[in-house]
Amino acid sequence: MKFKSIFLVILMAFSLEANAQLSPVDYQDGDKALSGFGMKPKNGSNDKPGVLILPAWLGVDEHSKETATKLAELGYYTFVADIYGLDNRPKGTAEAGKNAGYYKKNYAEYQKRIQLALDQLVKLGANPDKIVVMGYCFGGTGALEAARGNLKVQGAVSFHGGLGKDSSRAFGKIAPKVLVLHGADDPFVPKEEVDNFQNEMKASGADWQMIFYANAVHAFTHKDAGSDNSRGAAYNELADKRSWIALKDFLKEVL
């Protein structure tokens, strides 16, 4: 009996470890094949909250998968969305810019791909009433589009994301809470875009916050972005750490 008990303990340990692995998840948008990554928290149950991660413009990357793993370790179901699809993965920055530009312009299609990823997060086991969507750069723009589209999320978090939207789009009420984590010296988001975004948040009646990080430019959470601010995109360790704390506090408040 003693050996049987030890065996059961070992088996349970392996089971918990298996639940804590980031695994590929194939899904569809009509006839388009998509492939993201999902992860369950240890001791996961269906009443636990979830976080959807939208990657930067190069698509599913190590940075987004690392974020998914870290958040799962904190007790959240996580899913890394595939926005572009398996047959449309960019081979470099030129293709990435083209792909990202398409979805920024065709925001309804962006919102649809985000919704499909949200569906996968719920299938994984996340409580559908306790979900936050977050994203980096292009993905940060997507998180704001999820809020603008009032997708079924409780909050949206943008890390150094684009803030603009077509001026012809009307302001609508935004239900999800919004958190924007922004590099104070980001050259890719001009002051006019920041001002227009803030006016949009006020006009939409959103519950929103915006935090500016000193000496930080675009991509300040990406360790592979280098350290030269003059290039417009660079890693900033302090801004990275501070924004992560802000995210965790936001998740606790909202979820």
Q: How far apart are CA 65 and CA 73, in angstroms?
A: 12
**pLDDT tens digits, 112-134:** 999 999 999 999 999 999 999 99
Q: What pLDDT was estimated at residue 20?
A: 63
**pLDDT tens digits, 164-200:** 998 889 889 999 999 999 999 999 999 999 999 999 9
Domain positions in the chain: 2-254
pTM: 0.92
Residue 3 backbone dihedrals phi, psi, to 5 degrees: -65, -35
- How sure is the predictor about 14, in pLDDT bands with cuts at 50, 70 and 90? very low
Residue 12 has pLDDT above 80, yes or no: no
Q: How far apart are CA 155 and CA 132, in angstroms?
A: 5
Q: Candidates 3.20.20.105, 3.40.50.170, 3.40.50.300, 3.40.50.1820; correct CATH number of 2-254?
A: 3.40.50.1820
* Mean pLDDT of the chain, nearest integer: 92
Residue 238 has pLDDT above 80, yes or no: yes
Residue 81 has pLDDT above 70, yes or no: yes
CB atoms within 10 A of CB 105: 10
Q: What pLDDT was estimated at residue 46?
A: 74
Q: What pLDDT was estimated at residue 40?
A: 96
Residue 173 backbone dihedrals phi, psi, to 5 degrees: -65, 135
pLDDT average, residue stretch 87-110: 96
